[in-house]
Amino acid sequence: SVPFLIRLFPFVLTKITFLNFLAFPFFVDLQRPELLLNNTVNLYLTTEPGVTVGIWHTVPGSRGAEAQGKDQRWYEEALADAYPVIIYLHGNGGTR
């Protein structure tokens, strides 16, 4: 019956394949990454009018002791130092 249902409703295959309606991990506040990762802060960037992108900024482990107890402003200033910045884009339907 599954091939018949997919033939009738092809959008079901896309939903099952990508699971873009599922937010994972469950019951985790992704706006507070410091609860999951050390030395991490949540920032928002406006890329164009009406589009805001949420990012997590994590400093390298070598600066971990320096980052302890710092506020968001310190993390923003840390983006301008000599250390390289690695951008990793990831998400699923519930968190994109």
Give the CA count within 13 Å in the CB-facing half-sphere of 43: 18
Q: Which two tokens stand for residue 93?
A: 């339907």
Cα distances (angstroms) measured from residue 65 to each of 20, 27, 47, 56, 62: 37, 29, 31, 18, 8
Give the pLDDT of residue 58: 86
Rounded average pLDDT over 23-42: 79
pTM: 0.60
Rounded average pLDDT over 70-80: 87
| Domain spans in the chain, listed from the N-terminal domain onward | 4-79
Q: Using the predicted structure, report yes or no on whether residue 92 has a pLDDT greater than 60.
A: no
Rounded average pLDDT over 67-81: 86
Sign of CA dihedral 61, 66, 71, 75: negative
With a pLDDT cut of 70, the percent of the chain lying above it is: 88
Q: Using the predicted structure, report yes or no on whether residue 54 has a pLDDT greater than 70.
A: yes
Give the CA count within 13 Å in the CB-facing half-sphere of 81: 9
Rounded average pLDDT over 35-57: 84
- Residues 65-78: b if buried by 16+ CB within 10 A, e if exposed: eebeeeeeeebeeb
